[in-house]
């Protein structure tokens, strides 16, 4: 029985570290599209790559195959691959989507010339409402009303929630093979069930859910929030790895409380049992403590301004708690730690950052609370007593 073909933009951490495994185990040949010519050539020479799944208990190495690759600048070849594909996907980072979409549109046009069947695009990007963003970008590439109609009717733009943690590769983790990727074993892939135009692909770990916005916010306000709080606080204390930060009782206590505070707000917002979200938070804390993964605080702390945006993990969680009149003391501490990190790295002033970037007005109770915590953290003082966070 011949394999189906999946064309996937992005052969980086999530592409190779997660989607490659799921797609090939689900019976697909995967064709990666990437801007790294050396990586493309290596994948085409090997037609496979090693994936090392790491936990504190064991290491498991898989061979991910069959795999091919096309350089992103070979747009005609990429369009041909899309025309004959059974599934599409992206994991390029939100900032790079606008560079990918013209090639994706060209491939869809070529597909429509000979194929009336529906096809879906798994959007594996850490961006809220990424489906709407890609839809608008694709519409701008469509030159006729007929093309725009076919886009809506035959192309499913499917939001996903990527939970697997994949650290930045290092020479040590690659162990002599530049294609080797290391990741944690977690392999669940929640997807927006309502967005598919073709039948659901039979992928291991696929969790189809609707309405999907709950899963998007669960990832952002529990997983991403907890990761950020632990990492920014851990960095202030001089730790290097995520597992070191979560081994610190104070960091662990603040992080767990922040995740539980966000869980309570999510339960109120979406009408789900709070204990399910708390259990999810505790499982994440266990995964954060994975020493074998070697995930660094430097990786998680990157791009603090994005993480401090009004609708992102820190300020967005504060706003959600405020909406439901629920405590958010520990979340505010995490936001303050991110601000201290940014000011130390890039300069600036906390008060203007809160007002102009985070969208918190000086009249907001959260403004003064975060600002006072910034001051205490900057002075090296402990701004929170764990007894006050329970």
The rounded mean pLDDT for the chain is 94
Confidence band (pLDDT; 50, 70, 90) for 385? low
What pLDDT sits at residue 215? Answer: 93
Question: Looking at the predicted structure, is the pLDDT value of residue 323 above 80?
Answer: yes
Backbone phi and psi for residue 190, each to the nearest 5 degrees, phi listed first: -70, 140
pLDDT at 9: 98
Structure confidence at residue 389 as a pLDDT band (50, 70, 90): very low
pLDDT of residue 172: 74
Q: What pLDDT, on the 0 to 100 scale, is given for residue 383?
A: 60
Selecting from 3.40.630.30, 1.10.1740.10, 1.10.3720.10, 1.10.1040.10, what CATH number does the domain 214-389 have?
1.10.1040.10
Please report the pLDDT score of residue 168 as a whole number.
81
If you average pLDDT over residues 46-64, what whole number do you get?
95
pLDDT tops 90 at residue 356: yes
Average pLDDT of 355-369? 93
Question: Is the confidence at residue 52, as pLDDT, over 50?
Answer: yes
Domain with CATH 3.40.50.720 in the chain: 4-209
pTM of the full predicted structure? 0.89
Which residues of the chain does CATH 1.10.1040.10 include? 214-389
CATH superfamily for 4-209 is: NAD(P)-binding Rossmann-like Domain (3.40.50.720)
Which tens digit of pLDDT belongs to each residue from 367-381? 999 999 999 888 877
């Amino acid at each position: 029985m011949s394999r189906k073909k999946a064309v996937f933009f992005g052969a980086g951490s999530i592409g190779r570290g997660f989607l490659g495994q799921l797609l090939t185990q689900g019976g697909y040949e995967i064709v990666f599209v990437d801007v790294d010519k050396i990586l493309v050539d290596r994948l085409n020479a090997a037609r496979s790559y090693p994936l090392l799944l790491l936990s504190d208990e064991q290491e498991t190495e898989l061979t991910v195959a069959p795999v091919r690759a096309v350089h992103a600048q070979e747009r005609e070849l990429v369009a041909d691959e899309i025309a004959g594909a059974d599934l599409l996907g992206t994991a390029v980072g939100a900032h790079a989507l606008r560079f990918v979409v013209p090639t994706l549109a060209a491939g869809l046009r070529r597909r429509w010339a000979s194929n009336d069947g529906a096809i879906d695009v798994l959007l594996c990007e850490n961006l809220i409402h990424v489906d709407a963003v890609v839809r608008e970008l694709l519409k701008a590439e469509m030159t006729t009303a007929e093309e725009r109609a076919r886009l809506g009717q035959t192309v499913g733009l499917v939001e996903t929630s990527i939970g697997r943690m994949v650290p930045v590769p290092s020479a040590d983790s690659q162990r002599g093979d530049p294609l080797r990727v290391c990741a944690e074993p977690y392999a669940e892939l929640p997807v927006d069930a309502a967005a598919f135009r073709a039948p659901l692909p039979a992928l291991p770990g696929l969790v189809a859910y609707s309405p999907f916005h709950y899963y998007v916010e669960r990832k952002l306000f529990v997983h991403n929030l907890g990761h950020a709080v632990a990492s920014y606080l851990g960095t202030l204390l001089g730790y290097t790895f995520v597992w070191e930060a979560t081994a610190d009782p104070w960091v662990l206590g603040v992080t767990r409380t922040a995740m539980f505070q966000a869980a309570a707000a999510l339960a109120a917002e979406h009408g789900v049992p709070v204990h399910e979200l708390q259990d999810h938070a505790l499982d994440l804390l266990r995964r954060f403590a994975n020493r074998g993964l070697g995930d660094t605080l430097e990786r998680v702390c990157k791009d603090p301004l994005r993480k401090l945006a009004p609708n992102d993990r820190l300020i967005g969680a504060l706003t959600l708690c405020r909406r439901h009149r629920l405590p958010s003391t520990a979340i505010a501490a995490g936001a303050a730690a991110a601000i201290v990190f940014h000011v130390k790295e890039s300069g600036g002033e906390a008060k203007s950052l809160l007002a102009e970037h985070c969208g918190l007005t000086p009249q907001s109770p959260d403004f003064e609370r975060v600002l006072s915590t910034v001051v205490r953290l900057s002075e090296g003082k402990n701004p929170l007593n764990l007894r006050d966070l329970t």
